[in-house]
Structure 1
Amino acid sequence: MAPDGSRVASLKVSSAQAASLRASLILRGAGATPGDPSKVTLRFAGNDGRVFEQSGASFAASGNDIGWSPTVSGEDLLVELSLPAGLYPENFSLSIPQLSHLDISPTASPRDMMTIAIGESDSCENDIVCRANPTTGFTSAAKAVARMVFTTSQGSFLCTGTLLNNTNSPKRNLFWTAAHCISTQTVANTLQTYWFYDAASCNGSTVSSQATTLTGGAFLRHANTTRDTALLELKTAPPSGAFYAAWNSAAIGSTGTSIVGIHHPSGDVKKYSLGAVNALNSSIDGKSPLYRVVWSDGVTEGGSSGSGLFTVASDGAYQLRGGLYGGTSYCSAQTSPDYYSRFSDVYPTISTYFGQ
C-alpha cells in the first residue's frame, strides 16, 4: 500500500518466442462490495521498457465491448492495476480470455517487416519523405494517415486508415478504412494506431522520432461489406500534429483522373503511389461498385488495405474519394489494377457523423 492509501496489483502473461503480445481483458466489480472499474488505472509494459496507461473503463466489458491491451514488445506482457484509496483487489475480478502472440513486432524495421509481406518485394515503393518539392496539401494529407494493428479471432493484422475532417464542435475523430479490415465493434475495440510512422530520412532505415502509438480502440460507426467501406471513431484523440483530411462526397467523374495513394504497405513506414483511375464502376470478389486504378509510380501491398484514394482539388487540397480494397499490382506488374471503394456511394448514410 502506498502512503496515499492506494494499492497496486500486478501480473505477467507470457508466450515463449513472441516478438510482441497483446491481450483482451475483462475487469468487473466483484465481491460483497463491487468496485467501479473506471476508478482503476491499468498500465502495460513489454520487454522494451515502454509503458502504456489506460483507464479501467476500457476493460469493463459490456456485450461485445471487450477491451484489448496495447501491443507490447517481447514475450512478456506486464499488467499493473492501480487502485485508489478505499478500493481493494477483492473488489474486482480480472480475466484474460484471449492472448494474441505476434511473430513480429508492429514496430519492427522495414527489413524485418518484409519477412511477412503479403505479395512481392516493395522495392518500387516511395517513402513519403522522398517526394521532391511536396506541396502543403500532400504533406498535410500524409499526417492524416495512420498504420493500424487490430486483432480478430484469427490473429492480429495490419491495415491503413485516414483521419477525416468534419464540422462538429468539438471535432470528432472520424477514421476511414475498409470493411474487410474492421466491420464489427468487437474488432474495432482492438484497434491500435501508429501516427507519423515515417522514415526519418529518404530511404532511411530508422523511423521518425515523431512516431506515436495510440491505444484505446474505436467505435464502429459504419461498415458495408459489399462496398468495403468502414468509418470508425477513435476513442482516444489523435496526437498533436495529426491532420484531419479533406474529402469529396461527389463521385469521380471521368477516367484518367490523377490519383494519389498514401499507405503503409506490409506495415512499413508510410509510402505514396501515383496513378490514374481507369474505370469508374468495377467489381471484384463480389465487391462493387469500385474504382479501378493503375499506378505509374509505386504500388500497394498487404497492409495498404483501407488506405485513402486522394484527388487534388484546384486549391491544392488532397481530398479522400475512397479506400483500398485490394488488387494485383506489384513492382514487376505495376500496371495491374487495384480497386478502391467509393466514398460518394456511402456518404448519404454517414453524413450526419460529419456534421452535415
Structure 2
Amino acid sequence: KVIGGFRTLAGFEAKAVRGPQGISQACNNDATCPLLGDEWEDARRSVVQIITSGGSSASSSFSAVCTGTLINSPTGRNFVLTAYHCLEGETVSDWSFVFNYEKECGRVGHQTSAFQDYLCGARLVWADKATDTILLEVHHAIPEDFGAYFAGWDARPLDPLDPFTVSFHHPSGDFKKVSVDTNAKAEGTCPFCGSLERSHIVVTGWDDGTTERGSSGCSLFNSDQRVVGVLSGGSAACPDNTGFDLYGKLQVAMGRGLGE
C-alpha cells in the first residue's frame, strides 16, 4: 500500500513513496543495463536514494523514499538536489542518503550487499515550492570508495528545449533505474506547486522506462549530461510508457534564489 501522494482529476501524482517499497513496475530499466553508453556512468553515479523518517500510523511506522542528485559547486560542498514535496514538514537531519543502490542488469531478486554505502543527516540550504525544488547539504564527507560523482548543471534559458533527456531514479524505492526520452519537450505549470507559469519542463511520454512514486526529486539530464530539471510528478506509468512527467526548471529555480 502506498501512503500519501497527491492526485488531481487530470491524473497528476506526486512521486514520493510513503509505505512499503522495493519492487517497481516491469517497464523500468536497470540503470546498469546498456540502454545508454558507458559515457553516462558518471551521471548515473551522481544519483542517490533518499530515505526520510516518513511518519507513522496507528499500527506501524514507515519511511518515505525520494531520489536526489549530487550537484557540482565551486566550493566542493556535498550538495544534493531533490523535490520540495519530499519535505512535507520533515527534518532533513534525519534523512539517509544511499549511494550505489544498483543491481546487475537483469538480475532477479535483491542484492543485500547493494545497501552498504550510505550517509545520514543533512541540512536544508534552499527551498522553493513553485519549482518544487530543494537543495540539501549532506553533513558528512563522502568516502572516496563510494565512487560518487557531482553532476554538472545548466541553468541557461532552454530555447528550444533539448529533446534528448535521461533520468536515473529509484521508483518505488527499487534499485536504480533509467528512463530515456527523445521527443520534443513542452513547458507547463505544476498543479500542486503553485501558479507560476512555465515553471516546469513537460516530458510528454517516455521512449523507454517510466517514473513512479520514489522517483520524485530525480534530475532530468540533457544530452550534455547536465541537470536541467527536478521531478515533481506526473501521470507516467507502465505498461506502455504513456503519460507525462513534470520537472521543475533549474533555470527558474536559479532565478528564484537557488545558488545564491
Same fold (TM over 0.5): yes
8 Å contact from structure 2 (residues 31, 177) kept in 1: yes
C-alpha displacement of 1:256: 6.1
8 Å contact from structure 2 (residues 129, 193) kept in 1: no
C-alpha displacement of 1:308: 0.5
Query: Are 2:199 and 1:292 aligned?
Result: no
What SS does the aligned partner of 1:296 have? coil
C-alpha displacement of 1:130: 1.0
Q: Distance in 2 between matches of 1:286 and 1:233?
A: 23
Cα gap change, 1:126/1:223 in structure 2, threshold over 3 Å: closer, same or farther? same
Residue of structure 1 aligned with 2:32, choices 129, 135, 157: 129
CA RMSD, Structure 1 to Structure 2 (Å): 2.3
Paired letter, 1:188: V
Q: Which residue of 2 aligns with 1:242?
A: 148
Paired letter, 1:350: L
Q: Distance in 1 between matches of 2:231 and 2:19?
A: 26
Residue of structure 2 aligned with 1:271, choices 177, 182, 185: 177
C-alpha displacement of 1:201: 3.8
Cα gap change, 1:325/1:207 in structure 2, threshold over 3 Å: closer, same or farther? same
Query: Are 2:230 and 1:319 aligned?
Result: no
Q: Which residue of 2 aligns with 1:48?
A: none
- Superposed, which structure 2 residues align to 1:16-27 within 5 Å? none
Cα gap change, 1:235/1:204 in structure 2, threshold over 3 Å: closer, same or farther? same
Q: What are structure 2's unaligned runs of at least 5 residues?
A: 1-17, 57-61
Paired letter, 1:192: S
CA deviations over 1:120-179 (Å, ceiling 9, x no partner): x6101000111246232x1001101011110144542000000011111xx100000000
Q: Which residue of 2 aligns with 1:230?
A: 134
What SS does the aligned partner of 2:206 have? strand
Q: Distance in 1 between matches of 2:35 and 2:202?
A: 27
Q: Distance in 1 between matches of 2:70 and 2:114?
A: 17
What SS does the aligned partner of 2:160 have? coil
Cα gap change, 1:133/1:233 in structure 2, threshold over 3 Å: closer, same or farther? closer
Larger strand percent: 1
Cα gap change, 1:217/1:277 in structure 2, threshold over 3 Å: closer, same or farther? farther
C-alpha displacement of 1:259: 0.7
Q: Distance in 2 between matches of 1:208 and 1:252?
A: 41
Query: Are 2:160 and 1:254 aligned?
Result: yes
Cα gap change, 1:257/1:206 in structure 2, threshold over 3 Å: closer, same or farther? same
Q: Which 10-residue stretch deviates more, 199-208 or 254-263?
A: 199-208
8 Å contact from structure 2 (residues 172, 215) kept in 1: yes
Cα gap change, 1:284/1:133 in structure 2, threshold over 3 Å: closer, same or farther? closer
Q: Which residue of 2 aligns with 1:192?
A: 96
Q: Which residue of 1 aligns with 2:11?
A: none
C-alpha displacement of 1:202: 3.1
Q: Which residue of 2 aligns with 1:158?
A: 65
Q: Distance in 2 between matches of 1:248 and 1:183?
A: 27
Q: Which residue of 1 aligns with 2:243?
A: 336
Larger Rg: 1
Paired letter, 1:196: N
Cα gap change, 1:277/1:339 in structure 2, threshold over 3 Å: closer, same or farther? farther
Cα gap change, 1:330/1:345 in structure 2, threshold over 3 Å: closer, same or farther? same
CA deviations over 1:275-313 (Å, ceiling 9, x no partner): 145312333234442111021100000000000100022
By relative contact order (CA 8 Å, sep 6+), the higher-ranking structure is: 2
Paired letter, 1:218: A
Cα gap change, 1:179/1:309 in structure 2, threshold over 3 Å: closer, same or farther? same
Q: Distance in 1 between matches of 2:226 and 2:35?
A: 20
Structure 1 runs, 4 residues or longer, greater than 6 Å off: none
8 Å contact from structure 2 (residues 92, 123) kept in 1: yes
C-alpha displacement of 1:207: 3.0
Q: What are structure 1's unaligned runs of at least 5 residues?
A: 1-101, 105-111, 115-120
Identity over the aligned pairs, expressed in percent?
30
8 Å contact from structure 1 (residues 197, 208) kept in 2: no
